[in-house]
């Protein structure tokens, strides 16, 4: 496999989660047992698509927020593999 192909096939893990916040001014969930795991995605673009769909579906609840976690940065903070 060439280096170019390896870069194209590189997986950058992103996780989308969400739930109701206690207050709108801080990302503190009202009830951690009710945090929703939307999914794990191999690219930011895929994660953003899922985040957007879930956020739009809950637009009537002002306290509901969804987040994209860049898990690949937590797994490899120095960026050796990305």
CATH number at residue 27: 3.30.70.2400
Beta bridge pairs of residue 14: 41
Return the beta strands (E) in 1-82 as ranges.
Answer: 14-20, 36-41, 64-69
Specify the pLDDT at position 46.
98
Asked, for residue 6, whether it belongs to a domain, the answer is: no
Number of helices (H), then strands (E), belonging to the chain: the values are: 3, 3
Domain of 44 in residue numbering reads as 11-75
Cα diameter, the chain: 50
**Global pTM?**
0.81
Asked, for residue 82, whether it belongs to a domain, the answer is: no
Specify the pLDDT at position 15.
98
Give per-residue pLDDT as tens, 7-59: 556 889 999 999 999 999 999 999 999 999 999 999 999 999 999 999 999 99
State the alpha helices, DSSP H only, in 1-82.
3-8, 44-57, 71-75
Domains in the chain, number:
1
Q: How far apart are CA 57 and CA 16, in angstroms?
A: 14
Query: CB 14: neighbour CB atoms within 10 A?
Result: 23
Asked, for residue 1, whether it belongs to a domain, the answer is: no
Asked, for residue 60, whether it belongs to a domain, the answer is: yes
Asked, for residue 59, whether it belongs to a domain, the answer is: yes
Specify the pLDDT at position 10.
81
Asked, for residue 53, whether it belongs to a domain, the answer is: yes
């Amino acid at each position: 496999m060439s280096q170019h192909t390896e870069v194209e096939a590189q997986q950058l893990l992103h996780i989308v989660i969400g739930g109701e916040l206690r207050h709108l001014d801080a990302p503190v969930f009202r009830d951690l047992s009710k945090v929703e795991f939307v999914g794990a995605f191999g690219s930011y673009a895929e994660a953003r698509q899922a985040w957007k769909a879930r956020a739009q579906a809950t637009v009537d609840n002002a306290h509901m927020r969804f987040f994209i976690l860049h898990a690949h940065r937590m797994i490899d903070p120095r960026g050796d593999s990305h």
